[in-house]
Amino acid sequence: MQRTYIKDLKNLVGKEAIIKGWVSVRRDQGKMVFMDMRDMTGIVQCVVLPDSPAIEIAKETRTEWVLAISGVINKRPEKNIKAGVQNGDIEIEIKNIEVLNKTDTPPFEISSDTKEINEDTRLKYRYLDLRNERVQKNIRMRHKVIKLIRNNLDKENFVEVETPLLTKSTPEGARDYVVPSRLYKGEFYALPQSPQQYKQLLMTGGIEKYFQIAKCLRDEDSRGDRQPEFTQLDIEMSFAEREDVMEVNEKLLISIVETLYPNKKIQEKPFPRISYKEAMEKYKTDRPDLRKDKENPDLLAFGWVIDFPFFEKVKTSTNKQTQGEWTFTHNPFSRPIPEHMDHLMKKEKLGDIITSQYDVILNGLEIGGGSIRNHQYKALQKVFEILGYEKESIETDFGHMLQAFKLGTPPHGGIAWGLDRLVMLLQDEPNIREVIAFPKTGEGKDLMMNSPSKISEKQLKELGIKIEKKK
Ligand code: ASP
């Protein structure tokens, strides 16, 4: 007999079935044993009667054992029906139990919400935490969001292109993770802080409409709800103006909410727009919470923040890879708004130049941001000059971009969403770790794999690396 998924048992009342899964809850009542069995589709109550051939094994089983169970699906007696609960009106009368794997006593209980458990323990045993109903839902809904994104963008002629993980340092504003090269000792790859340069070069390459569910890696100090690696929905479009990019994204966000989260309400459509200046004056933040009713967890207040200053004076403790007095506020590859292009080319009124940057916000968090890019090499070169780069380092660091811009790069622009953050908000979770399958701690540790960790002397030698011992 074939395995039946627990969600389909309700259609088999009076018949026999085999289910496979984990023992979620077990109650030994002396003569009889009750077990709640769980698979990826849900939970069902099972009972082993005193005369069942399975009674001996049933008494031995413990929670989280992995079992194959066969039995008859019965309607529950009227008084035992649990309304509103999955399979609340049926139970399996077990005839046979095959133990597929025994389990040590789990370090925490999985059947109730693991949110109450110490987080380090949950992260150490993340594979157990993943079995929890709420965490499962988060991971499965994340999949649905990504699938909808892929389907919708495909329909609009976007192509998903993978870009390299072993790449070169990019000036996104954070510190790079670096990977030593064995073949070229003393040289390093950098892991991408975002696919920014590659996606722009895909526009030079005539792809025109690109997207990617992209891993981004930034070596930032642990601050708030951050992860050393996180996922972006990354988009770039050729021959696009600000309105075009905003329209594609707004449509996609609305479709995600209305298709997958019909119980949630979008406060205002089209999304309201607010300038950076107005946001700072009115809300003292550039990602204001626009909700009219903050008590309502199902209210989604999307909005766009636009008209950010392009440059700001360098503050003392900045990671940004700039070398002069000025730094960029968002993205060095952005183009100013058309009216301010002249200031950039003349390198004047730097503090007044407004960039084409647009950020999309949701309930007080920034969930994405992008811009129209400087696609003409002279304009991009001006930005790097303003940022204080010497001619030579512009050439070594960005020569490939400038070169490409001399070889037929179309006007283009794009955006990237913080996908973890969006799913977190949609799933009503308090942090992004809840919606990532294998997150690291706030301090950047993977407690399950135990990383970062030391590597062998042999590996170090092959890489030509010596570790300085602390005195
Ligand atoms: N690469 C940018 C970021 O990661 C987003 C963009 O401008 O497309 O913030």
Q: Which residues contact 313 (CB under 8 A, 6 or more apart)?
A: 325, 326, 327, 351
Ligand 1 centroid to Cα of residue 216, in Å, is 10
State whether the beta carbon of 173 lies less than 6 angstroms from ligand 1. no
Burial 152-190 (b: 16+ CB within 10 A, else e): bbeeeebeebebeeebebbbbbbebbeebeeeeeeeebb
pLDDT of 191 strictly over 80: yes
Contact between residue 371 and residue 331 where contact means Cβ atoms under 8 Å apart: yes
Ligand 1 centroid to Cα of residue 370, in Å, is 5
Strands 42-48 and 33-39: antiparallel
State whether the beta carbon of 249 lies less than 6 angstroms from ligand 1. no
The C-alpha atoms of residue 430 and residue 425 are separated, in whole angstroms, by 8
Shortest-distance atom of ligand 1 to CA 331? 7
Q: What is the mean pLDDT of the chain?
A: 95
Count of CB atoms within 10 A of residue 248's CB?
21
72-91 pLDDT tens trace: 999 999 999 999 999 999 99
pLDDT at 322: 61
Ligand 1 centroid to Cα of residue 359, in Å, is 10
What are the domain boundaries of the chain? 6-101, 128-435
Ligand 1 centroid to Cα of residue 408, in Å, is 22
Contact between residue 382 and residue 347 where contact means Cβ atoms under 8 Å apart: yes
Ligand 1 centroid to Cα of residue 417, in Å, is 8
Percent residues over pLDDT 70 in the chain? 98
pLDDT at 315: 76
- State the pLDDT confidence band at 133, using cuts at 50, 70 and 90: very high
State whether the beta carbon of 418 lies less than 6 angstroms from ligand 1. no
pLDDT at 220: 86
The C-alpha atoms of residue 200 and residue 301 are separated, in whole angstroms, by 31
The C-alpha atoms of residue 378 and residue 136 are separated, in whole angstroms, by 51
pLDDT at 170: 65
What integer is the mean pLDDT of 362-382? Answer: 96
Q: Using only C-alpha atoms, what is the Rg of the chain?
A: 28
pLDDT at 1: 80
Percent residues over pLDDT 90 in the chain? 91
State whether the beta carbon of 370 lies less than 6 angstroms from ligand 1. yes
pLDDT at 321: 57
Strands 209-217 and 159-160: parallel
What integer is the mean pLDDT of 329-356? Answer: 96
- State the pLDDT confidence band at 308, using cuts at 50, 70 and 90: very high
- State the pLDDT confidence band at 323, using cuts at 50, 70 and 90: low
CATH top-level class of 128-435? alpha beta
Q: What's the distance, Cα to Cα, between the start and end of the chain in Å?
A: 67
CA distances from 100 to 23, 110, 253, 327, 442 (A): 12, 19, 43, 60, 36
Residue 172 counted as an annotated binding residue: yes
pLDDT at 123: 97
State whether the beta carbon of 196 lies less than 6 angstroms from ligand 1. yes
pLDDT of 172 strictly over 70: no
Nearest CA to 375 out of 401, 342, 339, 354 is that of 401
pLDDT at 297: 87
Ligand 1 centroid to Cα of residue 401, in Å, is 16
CA distances from 460 to 165, 463, 468 (A): 21, 5, 12
Ligand 1 centroid to Cα of residue 369, in Å, is 6
State whether the beta carbon of 334 lies less than 6 angstroms from ligand 1. no
- State the pLDDT confidence band at 320, using cuts at 50, 70 and 90: low
pLDDT at 282: 97
173-185 pLDDT tens trace: 789 999 999 999 9
pLDDT at 22: 98
State whether the beta carbon of 415 lies less than 6 angstroms from ligand 1. yes
What integer is the mean pLDDT of 57-62? Answer: 97
Residue 364 counted as an annotated binding residue: no
Strands 229-238 and 311-313: unpaired
pLDDT at 173: 72
pLDDT of 59 strictly over 60: yes
The C-alpha atoms of residue 212 and residue 235 are separated, in whole angstroms, by 7
pLDDT of 171 strictly over 90: no
State whether the beta carbon of 371 lies less than 6 angstroms from ligand 1. yes
| Domain over 6-101 is classified CATH 2.40.50.140 | yes
pLDDT at 471: 77
- State the pLDDT confidence band at 314, using cuts at 50, 70 and 90: confident
pLDDT of 393 strictly over 90: no
Tokens of 159: 């192509």
Ligand 1 centroid to Cα of residue 357, in Å, is 10
pLDDT at 318: 52
Contact between residue 138 and residue 429 where contact means Cβ atoms under 8 Å apart: yes
This prediction's pTM: 0.95
Strands 273-275 and 302-306: parallel
pLDDT at 451: 97
- Out of 163, 167, 172, mutate this one to test ligand 1's pocket (max ligand atoms within 8 Å of CB): namely 172
CA distances from 267 to 12, 299, 304, 313, 360 (A): 44, 6, 13, 36, 14
Contact between residue 228 and residue 217 where contact means Cβ atoms under 8 Å apart: yes
pLDDT of 274 strictly over 80: yes
Count of CB atoms within 10 A of residue 283's CB?
14
86-128 pLDDT tens trace: 999 999 999 999 999 999 999 999 999 999 999 999 999 999 9
State whether the beta carbon of 163 lies less than 6 angstroms from ligand 1. no
Taking CA atoms only, the protein residue closest to ligand 1 atom 7 is 370
Residue 366 counted as an annotated binding residue: yes
Contact between residue 158 and residue 236 where contact means Cβ atoms under 8 Å apart: no
Q: Which residues contact 200 (CB under 8 A, 6 or more apart)?
A: 236, 333, 373, 401, 404, 409, 412
pLDDT of 319 strictly over 60: no
The C-alpha atoms of residue 147 and residue 132 are separated, in whole angstroms, by 23
pLDDT at 317: 52
What integer is the mean pLDDT of 409-433? Answer: 98
Residue 418 counted as an annotated binding residue: yes
pLDDT of 311 strictly over 60: yes
- Out of 193, 232, 238, mutate this one to test ligand 1's pocket (max ligand atoms within 8 Å of CB): namely 232
Shortest-distance atom of ligand 1 to CA 414? 8
pLDDT at 169: 73
